[in-house]
Structure 1
Amino acid sequence: MYSNMALKNVRRSFKDYTIYFLTLTFAVCIFYSFNSIQAQQAMFDMNKAQSQYVKIMGTLISNISVFISVILGALIIYATNFLINRRKKEFGIYMSLGMSKRKMSMILFFETLIIGLISLAFGLFVGIFLSQGLSILTAKLFVVSMSKYKFIVSTEAIIKTLCYFGVMYLLVMIFNVLIVSRYKLIDLLSASKKSEKVKIKNVYVSLFIFILSMIVLGVAYYLICKVGMDFEDRRFMESIILGIVGTALFFYGIASTLLFIIQRNKNIYLNKLNVFNTRQITSKFNTNFISMTIICLMLFLTICILSTGFSIKTGLENSLKTYTPFDASVQLSMKNKANIHIEEAMKRLNYKLGEKEDYCILNDYKLNVSTTKLLAPYCSKEVKMLVEADMYSETDAMSLSDFNAVRRLAGKEAVKLNDDEVLVASNYDYVSSAVQQFLNKESSITINNSAYKIKEKNPIKESVSTSGSSNTMFSLIVPDKLAKSSKLDAQVINFNFTDKSKKQQLEKIITDMKYNDLFKKTNFYISGSTREMIYESSRGLSTIVLFIAMYIGVVFLLASVAILALQQLSQCNESIDRYNSLRKIGASKSMIKKSILTQVLTFFMLPLLLAIVHSIVGIGVVSKYIKTIGDLNILGPSLITGLIMLVVYGGYFYATYIGYKNIITSDYN
């Protein structure tokens, strides 16, 4: 009996609670799709290294899913509480007809169970198909083929989804039963007549709070820009706390402030339903400023996570074109135990130089000049911490002839230097500003008590070897005579292959050195990479970052807009009598619709606009640090993030407006 009644109730209310069902379905879909990535690996033509990255990504997503499940669990509790509040009058009628609270709890138990099963079923169904698209995206990001493609359903991901959501729904059902047990008949029957009191705070107090919020947020922005991502600096935590407090004060004070400003302009305030609209908006902000604060901060995190995730992906891969001018590069430190040069080292590894490849040797020297002393006066606080490291107590240098050999191998023309001239090389974006300021201010460098003129006022930014990141923070190109009198620190060989077998041989040597302890047999360590190895490593790392950013970002976005939408629809019941009163005094249906649109748009746009302002500051700070991994362009990733926000946020806004409008205007002819 109770199950049949519950089924009828769910069927009857399905249309009214579309947002609720869609939110839960979408949550299950996202949860399954990302947790099934590792199962899709079977269809990819991946090598061992790529497979390892997919495995790492699957493990990280699985661990993050615990955190995600907490967020989704809170969202489900909020959403089901919304359903209960919408039906208080119905429960009051049940109770007045003699139904006990235990029986009402049983009906609610079955309703929650049915809703959960429907959401899980639809979510898994959509997630299974979405995961196939995610597999295609994974293959594209790793640049591998899917010759073994087949429709895969991850049993492990289904079990994990059922377990996580099963536990969550069990807690929700217990929560619902406890809520019903505390209801009183008088409260249930009069629920539709109760509404929030329109609390208009003293306008001067509100104005003071609003101005204070601007000051607090300004201080927060200043502190975070000043200290950056230095977590050990107490000002970092202070900026976070001030940002949260400032956001709360903003939403607490803005409604009454706007009301005060609008009231001063009678032409606007007394026009059509603006009096009603401003009072409605003010009342809701007064009671919901905490939830608006949470929504704004979650949107801020969503924008930052998605933008930086896409930025890291594009930045890592775009920078590789600059950092990999040769097919391969290997390096040998001159501090090796065997005390040999790099040509002898390659010979002992049975690698014959000059067969089916072009190569050049680059000697890396150390000059008795402190890079720290040269650059520190021109560095910001963050950069200064880097250049003050012990490794920069001397300055890297390369001879003119070695540098020209590198340029010839790269197909470029040689450069010329006089015996009293040097060139500065630097392709590390993090210190580019300091290096440029140094070149603008200085005209010479003293080396071994002799002054050498700086020939060019712009640094040479080309890479002198193939690597996964910038390989020249600050280096001098000096005359051969000066280089030969300096300390040899390391040697590099750059290769351009004419035969694939030679590249494979070199890859095996590099791999054996790194993973198979080959250096224990040789007493020296050769490090390096081929261009393909670097690209694979970069794609693997950037894809992991991107997927995790998408997973967390989309869930945060879903939670934010769902809470906002459910909150508006929940408060819709409180406004029904008010809109009926407007209709009785002559308000047209079009005026009512415009009023609803104004209110819903205000509540959706204000937290989003403040979140965007927060994000501009936050992304600016973060980009200074992630810029060290490559040349980042934030515009493209920001546009992609904006598109995602437009689709999801805009979709929920439209659905909320339609739902709100249908409830209010259902009695109109």
Structure 2
Amino acid sequence: MTFPQFVFRNVSRNKRTYAAYFFSSAFSVLIFFVYALFIFHPDIKEGVTQALAIQLMIIAEVIMYVFSFLFVLYSVSTFLKSRKREFGILMIHGMTKSQLNAMVFLENMLIGIGAIVAGIGAGMLTGKLFLMIGARMIGIPPLPFYLSGKALLLTICAFVILFLTISFVTTFLVKTNKLIDLFQANERPKKEPKVSTFLSILSAFLLTISYILAATATLQTLFFLMLPVITMTVIGTYFFYTQLSVFITKMLQKNRMVFWKKTNLLTISSLAYRLKDNARMFFMVTIVSTVAFCAVGALASMNVMNKQIASEYPAAVTYLAMDDQPVHKQHLQQIEDELTNKNIEFTTNQVPVKFIEFASTTNAYPSKQLAVLSFSSYKKISEAAGYGGYSEKPPAAEEALAMRQATLERFKSSTYTLKQNQFQLQTTNLSKHVTTPFTIIQDDGLIVSDELFEKLSAVKTGLLTGFYTNDLKATAGIGANLTENGRAFLSKENPFAMTVSGTIYEIQINMYKMMLFVAFLIGAVFFIAAGSFLYFRLYADLEYDLRHYLTIKKVGLTDQELNIIITRQLALLFFIPVIVAIVHSSFAFMALQSLYTLSIAGEMAVVLGSFLVAQLVYFFVMRFRYLQSLRNSLII
């Protein structure tokens, strides 16, 4: 038997141990290849949305590649630690250090090349499906399958370099200590896990503070708190697994009511050792899972933001005409004709707008001018949009309502001193509803009493026209020659401002779907990788567990009791990191809620629930296979 044949048989004999690592690597190659198919597809090069899709997928490629490198490096280093006894046997039979390094190198390359072939092969088989889903989410016609030579070459070269680098690096990780150390690597009794009370308290403190800050974050503080909260959470999570979890387990051992109840003695006794031995793995699974949950959850929450468009844009089409020019009548007639041709039922509404100058203001971010609406006009717009503006009281003579131009605005009272007679106006509150989108006014706006509106001298005047319909989506594409992406801004060359809510909605929903598609694939890779960590950690300890369970069975435990012990220990192994990740993500979503006026709880529950169900399915599959392995060893 030649040396390459020996390497091949060595890998094939350990296929159960390498299975999760191989399939996770192949899945990473598959997703990388699918992204490359999008990037180099000739039919996805034009348009703003398509250009953004390409940029997002390039970013996703980089994230995938960096993560794959770290995942493969960690996996290989873990395998090497579990094979010390095997290395000892080979060396006692005459294998040299250089041959051992060559064997490890060839094994890694064999698995790597197999993963590349499997991943690209699966990508070719499923590429058409991914292209159809991606095209639908981006909002373009279905993409035909196109096998780009560049995509194929990029994937092969990238992962060949990755596996070559990892294989070369791992040869330096192979440590050939004394043969006796290699033989006894898995048989030495484990040391009593030590724990630091200070670090345990520090972990609880960091996690508690980070949770409180996340739960109480506001729109103004969110971005300032993000980095320190993430840092405290990561450090707190690491010490939670290495210190606090072991500390809690030791406290349980001192509680006789719990510790001495039925099989709890065996479960809790081994739990402290498992937590300490698997602390780094638990930490990695938790962080990777949290990133996956938050990435998918954050983009899923954007669906709520799209629901806010109806509140942000009271009229399906809003048109602000400045001065009295013939072009405005032409534009308004064109809008009416397009709505009629699309069989869209609509109503119209016109109100005057005055732009006035002020001498000074207490506003921290003053605009150059103020747009002013009368309260009757505000009421008219609110009623046309179905809001019911009549529920608000008109402001007093020297007071005004700050014109709400977005649902996320926060009110801060300001005083404006007008140039006209140095008259002072103080804002008492925000208007209850949005009447004019920010892109229409672009500056601060006030709503004043009808009497004061008549007295104000305007620098310039405008006529605000709204077209109202029950189906905002149907207006997509209206006035496409007048706007860019559904918006037109006032300028010296452009005497009008305009928004088309249907077009804006269509662009936002396509961007949301596209980002969700990209994030979902990355999240799936992260989640599968987290499962792989659990899988090969489980089978790396199988030999030790066999001896452990055989010993306790000799004490007299029944098969049913042993099944209960094993199920509990597997459940802890699988669900502790996922539950911690769900808790982390829940507080992250609480902070994210500050960006929205509508609740995102439903979307978050769906995301976290879906991941939890997937983990449950994975747990039961792995439990079945693990118990089957034990039965085959005549233990159960």
Question: Shorter-chain TM-score: which interval?
Answer: 0.7 to 0.9
TM-score w.r.t. length of structure 1: 0.77
Per-residue deviation, residues 500-535 of structure 1 (Å, max 9, x unmatched): xx99794213349999x997xx73454433344313
Aligned equivalent of 2:65? 69
SS in 2 for 1:191: coil
Matched, 1:60 2:61: no
Quick one: distance in 2 between partners of 1:70 and 1:453? 52
Which of 266, 271, 283 aligns to 2:256? It is 266
* Distance in 2 (alpha carbons) for counterparts of 1:413 and 1:530: 22
Report the 3-state secondary structure (helix = DSSP H, G, I; strand = E; otherwise coil) of the residue aligned with 1:508: coil
Q: Are the counterparts in 2 of residues 406 and 464 from structure 1 also a CA contact under 8 Å?
A: no
Does residue 661 of structure 1 match 2:630? no
Which residue matches 2:482?
509
2:84 counterpart letter in structure 1: K
Q: Are 1:215 and 2:205 matched, yes or no?
A: yes
Alignment pair present for 1:594 and 2:564: yes
Aligned partner of 1:19 in structure 2 is 20
2: CA distance, partners of 1:388 / 1:371? 11
Aligned pairs for 1:81-92 within 5 A = 81-92=77-88
Mapped partners of 1:137, 1:165: distance in 2: 25
Question: Structure 1 residues 468, 28: closer, same or farther in 2, change over 3 A?
Answer: farther
Are the aligned partners of 2:301 and 2:600 in contact in 1 as well (CA < 8 Å)?
yes
Q: Distance in 1 between matches of 2:219 and 2:477?
A: 41
Structure 1 distance, partners of 2:462, 2:535, is: 62
Give percent identity, aligned residues only. Answer: 18
2:120 to 108, 120, 124: 124
Q: Check the 8 A contact 1:395/1:476 in 2, yes or no.
A: no
Cα distance in 1 for residues equivalent to 2:210 and 2:370? 39
Q: Report which stretch shifted further, 20-29 or 128-137.
A: 128-137
The aligned runs of 1:411-560 (5 Å cut-off) are 426=404, 428-431=406-409, 434=411, 459-461=431-433, 463-464=435-436, 475-476=446-447, 478-479=449-450, 482-483=453-454, 485-487=456-458, 491=462, 493-494=464-465, 496=467, 506-511=479-484, 523-524=493-494, 526-560=496-530
Q: What residue is the counterpart of 1:614 in the other structure?
A: 584
Tell me, yes or no, if the aligned pair for 1:400 and 1:480 is still in contact at 8 Å. Answer: no
**Does structure 2 retain, via aligned residues, the 8 Å contact 1:198–1:279?**
no
Whether contact under 8 Å (2:204, 2:244) holds in the other structure is: no
State the 1:309 CA deviation: 1.0
Cα deviation, residue 577, structure 1: 2.2
Cα offset for 1:129? 4.4
Q: Does 1:346 align with 2:328?
A: yes
Q: 1:234 to 1:143 in 2, by over 3 A?
A: closer
3-state DSSP class of the match of 2:171?
Answer: helix
What amino acid maps onto 1:398 in structure 2?
L
- For the 8 Å contact 1:408–1:414, the answer to whether it is kept is yes
Provide the C-alpha distance between the structure 1 equivalents of 2:349 and 2:481, rounded to a whole number of angstroms: 20
Counterpart CA distance in 2 for 1:518 and 1:365 is 15
Residue in 2 aligned with 1:3? 4
Shift of 1:78: 1.9
Separation of aligned partners in 1, 2:99 and 2:406: 70
Match of 2:535 in 1: 565
User: What is the alpha-carbon distance in structure 1 between the residues aligned to residue 11 and residue 172 of structure 2?
Assistant: 20
Deviation at 1:169, TM superposition (A): 0.6
Q: Does 1:275 align with 2:265?
A: yes
Deviation at 1:193, TM superposition (A): 1.6
Q: CA deviation at 1:58?
A: 1.7
Secondary structure, in 3 states, of the residue corresponding to 1:179? coil
Give SS of 1:102's match: helix
Please name the residue that 1:382 is paired with. Answer: none
Take 1:350 and 1:431, find their aligned partners in 2: how far apart are those partners? Answer: 31
Q: Aligned partners of 2:370 and 2:28: how far apart in 1?
A: 54
Aligned-residue offset at 1:329: 2.7
Alpha-carbon distance in 2 for matches of 1:656, 1:62: 35
Instruction: Determine if contact 1:425/1:459 at 8 Å carries over to the other structure.
Output: yes
Give how far 1:453 is off: 12
**How many Å separate the matches in 2 of 1:470 and 1:653?**
56
Distance 2:223 2:387 in 1: 46
Match runs of 1:618-637 below 5 Å: 618-625=588-595, 627=596, 631-637=597-603
**Does 2:167 match 1:173?**
yes
Give the corresponding residue for 1:244.
234
Find 1:194's aligned residue among 178, 188, 193. 188
Q: Which piece of structure 1 moves more, 229-238 or 556-565?
A: 229-238
* Aligned partner of residue 250 in structure 2, secondary structure: helix
State the partner residue of 2:364: 388
Secondary structure at the residue paired with 2:409?
helix
Name the CA shift for 1:315/1:129 in 2 (closer, same or farther; >3 Å).
farther
Aligned residue identity for 1:461: H
Query: 1:286 maps to which residue?
Result: 276
Question: What is the match of residue 254 of structure 1?
Answer: 244
SS in 2 for 1:494: strand
Higher helix residue share: 1
Following superposition, the deviation at residue 72 of structure 1 comes to 1.1
Give the corresponding residue for 1:36: 37
64-73 vs 32-41, which moves further: 32-41
1:650 deviation in Å?
3.1
8 A contact 2:24–2:525 mirrored in 1: no
Stretch deviating more after TM superposition (87-96 or 651-660)? 651-660
* Residue pair 2:64, 2:522 contacting (<8 A) in 1 also: yes
Partner Cα separation in structure 1 for residue 164 and residue 593 of structure 2:
43
Taking the aligned partners of 1:293 and 1:587, their CA distance within structure 2 comes to 33
Alpha-carbon offset, residue 165 of structure 1:
1.3
Equivalent-residue separation in structure 2 for 1:576 and 1:476 (angstroms): 77
Deviation at 1:486, TM superposition (A): 4.1
Q: Tell me which amino acid in the other structure corresponds to 1:365.
A: K
Whether the aligned pair in 2 keeps the contact of 1:417 and 1:479 (CA below 8 Å) is no
1:109 maps to: 105
Instruction: Give 1:597 shift.
Output: 1.9
Q: Quick one: structure 1 residues 330 and 155, their matched pair in 2 at CA, closer, same or farther if it must change by over 3 Å?
A: farther
Residue matched to 1:383: none
Measure how far apart 1:476 and its partner are: 1.4
* 1:242 match: secondary structure: helix
- The worse-fitting range, judged by mean Cα deviation, of 89-98 and 219-228 is 219-228
2: CA distance, partners of 1:122 / 1:317: 39
CA deviations on 1:358-387 (whole Å, 9 max, x unpaired) are: 7554443356889986xxxxxxxxxxxxx7
Q: Distance in 2 between matches of 1:143 and 1:266?
A: 63
**Unmatched segments (≥5 aa) in structure 1:** 335-340, 374-386, 439-446
Deviations 1:442-493 (A, max 9, x none): xxxxx98699999xx994425446x889999874153165246243566354
**Alpha-carbon spacing, 1:162–1:545, altered in 2? closer, same or farther (3 Å):** same
d(CA) in 2 for partners of 1:578, 1:419: 79
Corresponding position of 2:311: 322
Deviates more, 1:153-162 or 1:410-419: 410-419
Deviation per CA, 1:320-368, whole angstroms, max 9, x where unpaired?
Answer: 2334454533446x6xxxxxx1535537x88867974775544433568
Code of the aligned partner of 2:534: L
TM-score, normalised via structure 2 length? 0.81
**1:542 positional shift:** 2.2
Which has the higher mean CA deviation after the structures are superposed, 247-256 or 91-100? 247-256
Partner AA of 2:300 in structure 1:
F
Partner amino acid for 1:318? K
- Give the 3-state SS of the residue equivalent to 1:523 in structure 2: coil
Rate the CA distance shift 1:268–1:614 in 2: closer, same or farther, 3 A: same
Alpha-carbon separation, structure 2, partners of 1:503 and 1:342: 28
Aligned-pair Cα RMSD in Å: 4.4
